[in-house]
């Protein structure tokens, strides 16, 4: 909507007054939204491969399982400290 368009100059209903709404602040709640949100933006290539949240969760859970299994298989026992005897 163009601000200089006379047709849309005042699109409030006659019973409303601009002063009834108080000061408008752009982005007033953006920080609260960021803290309470878990939205993740995927790259287009990833979004094509995993089109639903279920697909994303399934893939990530499988990756976590694989990581946990692999970690157990490759974990090396802790070395014993040498006592100075040979």
Q: Is the pLDDT of residue 1 over 90?
A: no
Report the mean per-residue pLDDT for the chain: 81
Question: How far apart (Å, rounded) are the C-alpha atoms in residues 59 and 8?
Answer: 50
**Which tops the pLDDT comparison, 44 or 25?**
44
**Dihedral angle over CA of 19, 20, 23, 26, nearest 10:** -120
Specify the pLDDT at position 71. 81
């Amino acid at each position: 909507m163009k601000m200089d368009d006379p047709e849309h100059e005042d699109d409030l209903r006659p019973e409303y007054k601009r002063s009834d709404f108080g000061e408008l602040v752009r982005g007033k709640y953006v920080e609260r939204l960021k803290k309470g949100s878990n939205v993740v933006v995927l790259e287009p290539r990833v979004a094509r491969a995993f089109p639903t949240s279920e697909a994303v969760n399934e893939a990530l859970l499988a990756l976590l399982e694989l990581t946990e299994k692999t970690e157990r298989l490759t974990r090396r026992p802790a070395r014993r400290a040498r006592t100075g005897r040979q």
